[in-house]
Structure formats: C-alpha cells, structure tokens
Structure 1
Amino acid sequence: MTEEEAKLIFDEGNEADDNQEFEKAIEHWGKIPQEHQLYYDAQWNIGIAHKDLKNLEKAIEYWTKIPREHQLYYEAQWNIGIAHKDLKNLEKTIEYWTKIPREDNSYYKAQLNIGSTYKDLEEFEKAIEYWEKIPTEHKLYYKTQLNIGVSYYNSEKFEKAIEFWTKIPREDNSYHRAQLNIGLAYDNLESFEKAIEYWMEIPRENEAYYKTQWIIALTYIQLKHIDEASKAFINSKKDIFEMLPIFKFIKISIIKKIFSQILDSKTDDFFNTTIKEDIDNKEKYKEIFIKSLYIINLLHVDSDQEKQVAHYTRKWVAEQMLFAKSPLRLSTVIGANDPKEGITLLDFLEINKGDKLQTPYQAFITCFTFNHESLNQFRLYGKEDNREATGISIIVNRDFFSDSVSLNISHANNEQSKELSIAKNDKITEEEIKKPSIQKYSLYRCIYIDPKTKKIISVGHKEIDCFYREIKNNKPQTFTESKKLIKGINDYQKEIGKKLKQVKDQLKQLNCYIRKHKTDLNESIISELLLPLRHLTKHAAFKEEQECRIFDIENLNTSDIISPKRDGETCTFNTMHIDYEADLSDYVEKVIFAPMTPELEQFEAFSKYKGYNFPCERCDHPFSMKTT
C-alpha cells in the first residue's frame, strides 16, 4: 500500500468518525498495514471509536498495541487506565497510570487520580502517599490538600483533616468546600461553636448553602440557641413540612417556638395563604397547624418490621411501570373509592367544611398496604374488565421511599424542596450535603376513625397473619431463631399499640383545642390547614386495608411538576397527576398475581428477559369467579 493510499484510507476513517459512523471509521483504519507509519495512529483512533461505541474492552485491546517509543504511548496508558476504572477494574487502573513517568505532562494528573482510586478502594494511606507527590507550586496542589483531608476525615482523624483543609486559601476554588469540611470535622469533635464559625463562611450563592444552613440550625438547637436556630431554618429555605424530622429529637415546646417564628417569617406559603382571610387569629391557627404536623410525624412508617409494602394495580399498568419505565403516579383524590376521602377527620372534629375556601391547593396520593396478598384488595383493585381478582400486588422495599419524615407541599414555591432532610443525630457527610438526590416521598400509615362513635379504631399496620407467612417462608432453622421471630412480632405489636395511644392522645388534644376556640375561628380555614392530615385519615369501614400512603399537596397556580401540563390538550382535572421520580423496578421484592390473573409464566419469563428476575407467585387464597 502506497503512502498516498494509506493517507486516503486514514482520512476516510476520519471523515466517517466526524459523521459519528464509528463502525465505518474502524473498518477504514483497520485496513492500514502494520509496516505503515500511520498504523499506530490508526490503532489509537480505533480505540477511541470503540470507546465511543462503549466497547471498552476492545478500546483497551487497540491502545495496548501502541509501543513505548511511540509519542501516543503515555496517552494510551492514561486512556487504558480510565477504561479500566469505568469497568471497575481499579487495580488495573492503578497499574497503567503508574507507568506514566515524572517527565510526562500527565504525571501529576496521574498521581492525583491514582490517589483518588486508592481512596475508592478505601486504602487511605496509599491515597495520601500519591497525593503528597504533588508539589506546592503545582495547580493541583490545593485539590490534593482537600483530598488528603477527606482521607483523614474518613479515617476519623479529624484534627489531621482540619490541618490540611486550613492550607487552602480563600482565592482557591476549593476554599468554600474546605470550610464546609472543616465544620463537619469540628462537628464530629463536638466543637459545635467552631463548626458553626466555619459553616458561616459558605456564601448564599454556593450550592451547599441551604443544606449548610439546615445543619447550622440543628446545631444551634443542640446548643439551645433557639432564636439563632430559627433564623438558620428560615435561611435554609426549607418548607416547614420538610422540617418534621426535628420532632424526633427536640421537645415539642421548643419546636412550637421555632415553627412559630418560621410561620411569622412568611416563608411558608401554604400556611400564610390559607389563613390570610382571618389573620387576626393567626396564633390559634398556628397551634392547630403545628399539632397536626406532630400527629403526621407520628404516622411516619419507620418500623424495622415494616420493610416491605404492597401496591395493588392492574396487570397492564404493572407491566408499563416495571418493563416500560412508566413512572408510578400520584393521582388527585377525586374519584377515590372512599366517598368520605378527606372528610372523616372533619366529621370526627365536628368541623363544618362549609363553602370551599378559595385556596389553590390540591392533594395527590398513591396508596400502599402492609397486607401483601389480601383477597379483599384483589377483589377491589386492579380489576381487568371489572372482573374481580385479576390484578397484581407489587411488593416494594422501603428504599423506594424517603427514610426521612417530611411532606411534599408545593415544590414550585420552594426551590430547595429537593434537598435531603438530614437529622442532626445522624453522621453528617459532605456527600449528603452536596449530592443531588432523586425526589422520594415519605411513607405514612393511615388512621382509621369511626366518626359516628368518635372512636379512633386503629392505625395502618402489618397484621399477624403476614408475620406467620413470613415465618413459614423463611423457615427458621433453630429454636433460638423461632424465639427471636416471635419476640419481634410481640415487640412490633407493642410498638403499634404505643403509636396508636400517642395518636389518640394528640387527636384528643387537637379536638379539645378546636372546640375551645371554634367560635372565634373560620372552620373552612381549619379544614384547609388540616388538608395533609385529612388525607391520612380514613373511615373505620376500610380498616382491613391497613393502608399507608405517599402524598403531595400542590399549588395548582404555580406547580411545575403536575402532568399533563396546564396548556396541554389532554389536561383535565381527572387526568392530573404527579410522576414519582424513583424507578419502581429498582425496588421490587416480589410480584404476586391474584387468583384469576392470567399469564404469570409469561410475565416471569419476560422479567428474566429484561434482566430483572422478579420473583413471581400466585396468591393461594380461595376464590371462585362468579358466572352469569
């Protein structure tokens, strides 16, 4: 092959590559013979094309052909290292990057990344060894000081971490991140005033500002500086509904003071919009609102015995969610099977809903249950062509939901609503403060009330027969294991009994307060303030459903997460919904077919084909289809 022919073929490969015709480019470059001077350039290009095609093993194969004496050799070692890192072959990554010599331009970049790779392997001393090779005058120096500090922090050597982070000057891009980290280190050392001092360095325009203010607020509470805590909570831009975690570790009297100041700041749109027609009684409405939030906090599903819940739906809908990535939907409460949806609590409190208050808020819910294969719910839900027991129960684990207690209210008015709620008694990490998160909703159990007798009957929970089925499926091997399982059941029943008593006591207090001040207050405003709690309260006639829910309350005037969009042709009130961000298929533990649901084997086979391998089984409860 002549030099002109080789150059022509090489250029044809480049042209195909520019047009993103990578297979065609590879074909052209592959024709250049080894004895030609363009051969190794072609091998380099073929490796790049395979990388673009996500064929990383093939890319490595071609880059390794480039000999040490070629000018592209060290670039090839760098690329091979990156490819191995993407393939999770971290030891191989290190092997190739250590081939890069000090005289090469990419040497210090390689040292930085070798250190980071050792950090990923949790070999922190080796990571530090490589980072310390970067000299003071190098542009990567301060980044390595940040990384060395992180490694010492992860090794719980907090004083050493602070030593390295304090080397980073204000003019460096890493400065504010270092201040955040120093605060975290002092927090772990229980030097809380020093932690706050460094966190205060984070400016409002920094991406970590709002979450840092949240942690400052929690730290001030720990120091019993309540007014400063309130200011920091307000600065965090968190909706008051996102602050429910503090009920778990702060006295209710202190919470009332903090919440009162936040509500006075008018940062909470829901409360202030709702009471605007009766502002003179703001303090009384505050009391009602805060009491309702405390009850909601008690309903958060967080028991170790409630690790899975079920969602009943039609088989076709299940297939769309699990195989076609169609999101789970939160729908409007209009059309719920309970005609008393949202009314039962008002009946219990003897509140006359009266004329609808002119506020823009609408509830959206999705229902789950602690009963994974209830014949009653198979008969009611997921019916195909109105035939009973033809649906599916999808069992999901609790990771599908937020593990923090919070409510989702009107995202559009709170740009920070997607931030994670971090409890002060949890270990705080920089990753928790900075990382973007998938929006997950908290799961709440329902309260079952008989308005006629004014009795609070129960709260949603896992029934005893569900435990017995689990014991049978898990087949404890020893007497000790069986005893432990039985103890777990007994402890759970006590836990639910205690929770029910707390809910009863708090609802009684709420009822007494409303009765005492009822003549002074607008009952429609009370009804609207109780909107979140109303949709966690159901008529006792539905208590067998043992329901739990996720829900969202949106401002219809401003929300940007409701589908279809308000200007769309298909947008009607009944079709409005909110898409849940987390992918349901990632959290499925099991799929249970109702007694009469067809095609279990086909569903299971397709699940394997799609790479999910969902365990599928048939509900064995007795059921006979009625014929006409």
Structure 2
Amino acid sequence: MSVDNMENLDEETRKKIEKLLKVTREKDGNESYASAQIDKGLIYYNLNQRKQSYESFNNINKSDSLTRYMMAQFGMGGMLAGDSKFNEALKVWSNIKGLGDSLETAGLKFRVGVALLEDSFSEYDEAKQYFIEAIEYYPYESYCYQKICNLLSDSRLKVAGKKSLQLLNKTLEIVEILKLDFEPDSSDNKSPERKLAHYTNTSITNLLLEKNEDGSLPSFFRLNTINNVNDPSEGHLLVNYLKGIRENSFYAPDFDKDLHAFISCFTFNHDSLNQFRLYGKEADKEASGVSLVFKKEFFQLDNSLGGLSFLSFESNIQSANRDISTLVINKHSSMKESLSSKTRVSKQPVMRCVYIDPTSSYIQLAQRNRITFFREFGNETVVVQNREKSKAEYEWEEYKKYIDEKTVAFSDAFRTLKSTYESIIKEKKAIANDDLESSNKIDILINEILLPLKYLIKHSAFQEEQECRMVYVTSINAPEVNIAHKKLLFVEYEAEVKETLNKVYIAPAATEYQLYLAWLLRNTDVKIELSNNPYRQI
C-alpha cells in the first residue's frame, strides 16, 4: 500500500502511515526506524493488508534493534502459519532462537513454543527448545510444557500428552479469570475491588508499623504456611471435585517439602464483626484486633516475570519422579535480596477464592457484599438515563453484572477442567496396565499442573469471608523460607505496609488502641476508623 493508494483509509490512519513512512535509519536512527516498521506493520496487519505488513516487519535488521527484530520475526512467522505455510514459519521463527535475554524476548520464544504444540505443527522437540530458552521468565509454564513435550514425542503416550496440554491451558485460563484486576473499567470509575483488608491482632500491627533505632522494626509482612489454616479441606477440595467425590470428611493437608504453599488472606469485607472475632484477637479476646485495608499498590499490578510468579522452584530439589533439575529459582521477580541479606518475596498477584459445596454443584466466587457499597457511598446519588438513583444501588448493580459474567466464565472453564481431568485419568489407568512408571509420572504432572488452583478452592462453609489470597509455592529449602518458634514456617513480603495502607478499622474491643495507632500513622494520610459493628464485651 503506497502513499498514493490510501484513499480508502480514514484520515487518522492515513496520516499515521504517512508519518511512519518518513522515518529512516539515516535521519532518525536504527532504533526509531525499527519501531516505525513495527508500528506500520501492525497497522497494515489490522487493515488485513498482510503483504504490506510482512514487508514492514521484514525491513528490520538485527543491527537495528534486537528486540524489535525478534518481534518482527515472530509476527512474520505467525502470518506464514496463518497461511498454512508451516515449514516457512518454522524457518522464520528459528531466527529468534538463541537471541535475547529479557522478559520481552522470552515471551516471544514462549509463544512460539506454545504454537508449535498445536496439531498443525506437532513440532514437540523444537517446541521444547523454545521453552528451555524461556524458562527463566516462565518457570512453571515452561516446566509443565517441557514435560508435555516428552509425552507428545512418545507415540504410546501421545494421547495423555494432548490431554495434559488441554488441562494445563485450561488451568492457566482459570488463573487469569480469578486474578484480581485493579484497573478501572473506564477513566471515570475506580475499580470496585481496588482495596483489600487483612485482619490481624494489635501486636502484629505494632510490629508492622513501629520503627526503632536499631532498624529491627518495622517487621515485614508475612505469608504463612498453609498448614496453619483452620480449614482441614484445604488443598483437597479441588481434586475431590474433579474426581466427583461428594463428601464432607477431610484430613490434614499433605506436607510437601518440595512444593510447599505459603499464603496470606485478604477480604473485600473491610469491617466484618465475624472476621474481627475470628482473626482479630489479642490474647484470645474476641474482636480486639484491627483490619488493615491495603491499596492496590501493595500487590503485584504489572508482572515483571511473565509467567506465574507465585510458583518458585528450586534447582537443588532431588526428585527423580519430578525431574525438575533444569529449573532455577526465579531471580528476577519472585525474590528480592534485602540489605540485611534476607531474601524476601517480591510483590505477588492476589486472586479471589472459589467456594464450592462438596455435596452439590454450588459454586460462588469471592466478591464484595451489597452492604459494602452502601457503606462506601452512603446517601450519594447518581443520574442514570435522566433519573436520579442511589449511587450505592447503581454501583452494586454494575458490579453484580461484572461478577455474574466472571462466574459464568469460571463455571464454563471449571466444567471443562473436570471433563479433561476425567479423560486424562482414564487414559492414565489404561497406560498403567503396560507401563506403571509412565503412569506414575503422568500422575505427578497432573498434580503439578493443578498446583496454581489447589489453594484457591475453599469449602462453602467459609463463604462469608469472601476471601482473596496471595499464594506462594516453593521448596522449604529455598532461601526465602524462615521458621519461628520451631514450628511456624513463613516467607517475608517485600512491600512495606505503612506506605501502602489506605485505612485501619479498629475492632469494637480494641478502641483503647486508637490513639496509639494514630501516633504510629501520624506522618501518613491513612484513615483510622472505629468499627461500625455493635458488640457486647464480656
């Protein structure tokens, strides 16, 4: 498409292309030229002008910009694959192998690896090489995909490999559905889920907010071992659901030293009497703690890792069955070295829990309650279609639509996950008749694939909590894992509490701490409020 042949384009697009066509290496430099070619190629591609798009990408040399050269090669290969020119696509994509060492370039290689697993390619050994190059930024996913490549490469295990691939892709889809999105739905609105509360006692709050001369305080926020939770069904509900087990008898969580979970719990209910009574206890006295309400900045907003950052594998795990010797601890974003040489976990995403009833098909996603909107907006009104309406009611209705859509998406994906799990278990049993070792390896892979969801599925008996979780899974041998009182395993979280607090609610039996908390937070804009809940102290 030349400058003279753009009369059918809208004026804005035509001006963009004309401007990009004027960028040259000689006048503007190699980097600017490469960026212009990428932008121009994307415009042409969106206009369905594939030839011009391909030519734009093909104009970029390695010497212009390595990252943009790799992006161009990726795009060109994708267009060739779209035209069923698979051998040519493979050849173009091979140009990015062995190049680059950044999140962006690893992401391109990772996407090529995933594409090569599709039936149209079936290039499993080739795909494995791309996952090896992407593993530093996509450790969990690349690890699972490599194992799947091994299954797909074996004609006897190919069916199990395809079903494992479906299970992994569906698991990753569900994780994205459950991950909290703190971004507003428009420039005029704030995200209704932008703040989360964590209930704790006043002693812990003091450690998190106080400072002292020797620098030992404030303490860092902790993610504690999953073995401390009060729900004996933790870690078992997901597999029980997938197996179709409908019962309410549970047992203690399995202890896995190689892949051990650490969690911290948050809720959309910032001022809940029940949660004050359960989790805000000081010296075993009910409702004597606080609710710390965090801003979105406390959590991971932009993943600098690329893959799932809350799964951190260690290279020295000795397990022949797991075969994860190629994995390394993520040194880019899962951990951070402090000045005191302690290793801390970097900012992590937070995900809503899902409540299911083992005896029925009931499912509910953690969400805000209607009352929280009335507490937030009070008597404010808003004009909707020329009619004045309660802002609380309007915001609740809009939020309910959002949650309903997310629930439908989750339910559909969860049903598919179950049917896929059932089919792979059936295939695994058939394999066991001839090859028990391979069957056992498939069983281990299935459990590893489901790991990101394992601690997000909770019993419906706890649904009042409307819990969201930060989960971190690693080996107990990892340098970030600490122990206190000879029994409490935990990891420390890098984000500072005081800088990311929005508000503190004081429980009904902790009002005596109001002045002290005001002093601790005197140089901040953190609001302090007494709980609105009535409570008779005994």
**Do the aligned residues in 2 keep the contact of 1:371 with 1:462 (CA within 8 Å)?**
yes
Residues 1:528 and 2:448 aligned together: yes
Rounded to whole Å, the distance in 1 between the matches of 2:444 and 2:208 is: 38
Rounded to whole Å, the distance in 1 between the matches of 2:224 and 2:266 is: 13
Match of 2:263 among 355, 360, 365: 365
1:298-317 matches, within 5 Å, as 298-302=177-181, 304-317=191-204
**Do the aligned residues in 1 keep the contact of 2:373 with 2:395 (CA within 8 Å)?**
no
CA drift at 1:221: 8.4
The AA in structure 2 aligned to 1:577 is: F
Residue equivalent to 1:321? 208
**Do the aligned residues in 2 keep the contact of 1:447 with 1:538 (CA within 8 Å)?**
yes
Q: Could you state the TM-score of these two structures normalised by the residue count of structure 1?
A: 0.57
**Do the aligned residues in 1 keep the contact of 2:354 with 2:456 (CA within 8 Å)?**
yes
Residues 1:342 and 2:235 aligned together: yes
**Do the aligned residues in 1 keep the contact of 2:312 with 2:329 (CA within 8 Å)?**
no
**Do the aligned residues in 1 keep the contact of 2:268 with 2:467 (CA within 8 Å)?**
yes
1:15-414 matches, within 5 Å, as 166-167=28-29, 179=31, 182-190=33-41, 194=56, 198=60, 200-201=62-63, 223=79, 265=130, 267=132, 268=135, 270=140, 279=151, 280=157, 281-302=160-181, 304-324=191-211, 325-350=218-243, 360-404=258-302, 407-408=308-309, 409-410=311-312, 413=327
CA drift at 1:159: 7.2
**Do the aligned residues in 2 keep the contact of 1:407 with 1:552 (CA within 8 Å)?**
no
Decide whether aligned partners of structure 1 residues 220 and 493 sit closer, same or farther in structure 2, where only a CA change above 3 A counts: farther
**Do the aligned residues in 2 keep the contact of 1:213 with 1:236 (CA within 8 Å)?**
no
Residue equivalent to 1:563? 482
Decide whether aligned partners of structure 1 residues 259 and 364 sit closer, same or farther in structure 2, where only a CA change above 3 A counts: farther
Decide whether aligned partners of structure 1 residues 336 and 282 sit closer, same or farther in structure 2, where only a CA change above 3 A counts: same
**Do the aligned residues in 2 keep the contact of 1:230 with 1:262 (CA within 8 Å)?**
no
Residue equivalent to 1:54? none
CA drift at 1:318: 1.9
Residue equivalent to 1:444? 351
The AA in structure 2 aligned to 1:585 is: K
Q: Could you state the TM-score of these two structures normalised by the residue count of structure 2?
A: 0.65
CA drift at 1:414: 5.1
**Do the aligned residues in 2 keep the contact of 1:607 with 1:613 (CA within 8 Å)?**
no
SS for the counterpart of 1:599 is helix
Mark the runs of 5 or more structure 1 residues left unpaired by the alignment. 1-155, 168-177, 421-437, 565-569
Residue equivalent to 2:524? 612
The AA in structure 1 aligned to 2:230 is: N
**Do the aligned residues in 2 keep the contact of 1:237 with 1:414 (CA within 8 Å)?**
no
**Identity score, percent:** 26
Rounded to whole Å, the distance in 2 between the matches of 1:502 and 1:494 is: 12
Residues 1:470 and 2:372 aligned together: no
Rounded to whole Å, the distance in 1 between the matches of 2:69 and 2:388 is: 46
Residue equivalent to 2:470? 550
Match of 1:504 among 411, 417, 420: 411
CA drift at 1:546: 0.7
Residues 1:538 and 2:458 aligned together: yes
C-alpha RMSD over aligned residues: 4.6
CA drift at 1:266: 5.2
**Do the aligned residues in 2 keep the contact of 1:357 with 1:524 (CA within 8 Å)?**
no
The AA in structure 2 aligned to 1:584 is: V
Match of 1:580 among 480, 493, 501: 493
Rounded to whole Å, the distance in 1 between the matches of 2:371 and 2:123 is: 41
Q: How many residues align?
A: 422
CA drift at 1:270: 4.3
**Do the aligned residues in 2 keep the contact of 1:447 with 1:456 (CA within 8 Å)?**
no
Rounded to whole Å, the distance in 1 between the matches of 2:529 and 2:284 is: 22
Rounded to whole Å, the distance in 1 between the matches of 2:367 and 2:294 is: 16
Decide whether aligned partners of structure 1 residues 357 and 471 sit closer, same or farther in structure 2, where only a CA change above 3 A counts: closer
1:420-435 matches, within 5 Å, as none
**Do the aligned residues in 1 keep the contact of 2:357 with 2:363 (CA within 8 Å)?**
yes
Rounded to whole Å, the distance in 1 between the matches of 2:299 and 2:459 is: 25
**Do the aligned residues in 2 keep the contact of 1:182 with 1:195 (CA within 8 Å)?**
no
Q: Deviations over 1:25-82 (max 9, x none)?
A: xxxxxxxxxxxxxxxxxxxxxxxxxxxxxxxxxxxxxxxxxxxxxxxxxxxxxxxxxx
Residue equivalent to 2:534? 622
Residue equivalent to 1:516? 423
Q: Deviations over 1:431-475 (max 9, x none)?
A: xxxxxxx9421121111111121x2421011111001111118x4
**Do the aligned residues in 2 keep the contact of 1:588 with 1:614 (CA within 8 Å)?**
yes
Larger radius of gyration: 1
Rounded to whole Å, the distance in 2 between the matches of 1:417 and 1:213 is: 26
Rounded to whole Å, the distance in 2 between the matches of 1:577 and 1:625 is: 33
Rounded to whole Å, the distance in 2 between the matches of 1:505 and 1:231 is: 39
